[in-house]
Amino acid sequence: MIVEERNYGLRPGGVTEYLRLWREYGRQPQIHHPGEPIGVYQTETGTLNILVYLWGFPSWEDRARRRAALMADQQFAAFRSQVRDLVRSQQNRILTPASVMEGD
């Protein structure tokens, strides 16, 4: 399994509005394509106004297929246009299991 970590830096005060819009417009297409997230978090210490999404995929190929379907979804495109002015930065990382987790 691979885990995709997606961090969104939002304008100050933007977390509440982003999450409201995500629940109303963005969550459903994301559940339909990439699936239920492992978790959705917000920062409480350190750099604030950051949302962190964690998504699990069985393989790189599965992730690529699901992400392509999400990017082609018109409902998700509408959601992205609604939150565009809230987002100040984005950082994505793909996490792979450490060798100790694979039985080595």
Domains and CATH numbers, the chain: 2-96 (3.30.70.100)
Q: What is the pLDDT of residue 90?
A: 97
pLDDT surpassing 90 at residue 94: yes
Residue 103 pLDDT grade (very low, low, confident, very high; cuts 50, 70, 90)? low
- Cα separation, 62 vs 100, in Å, equals 24
The answer to whether 66 and 57 are in contact (CB under 8 A) is yes
pLDDT in tens, 9-55: 999 999 999 999 999 999 999 999 999 999 999 999 999 999 999 99
Q: Which amino acid is at 98?
A: A
Contacts with 72 (C-beta within 8 Å, 6 or more apart), sequence order = none
Residue 100: band (very low, low, confident or very high) from pLDDT cuts 50, 70, 90: confident
As a whole number of angstroms, the distance between CA 6 and CA 57 comes to: 14
Report the distance separating Cα 7 and Cα 11, nearest Å. Answer: 13
Q: What angle do CA 59, 18, 63 make, to 5 degrees?
A: 10
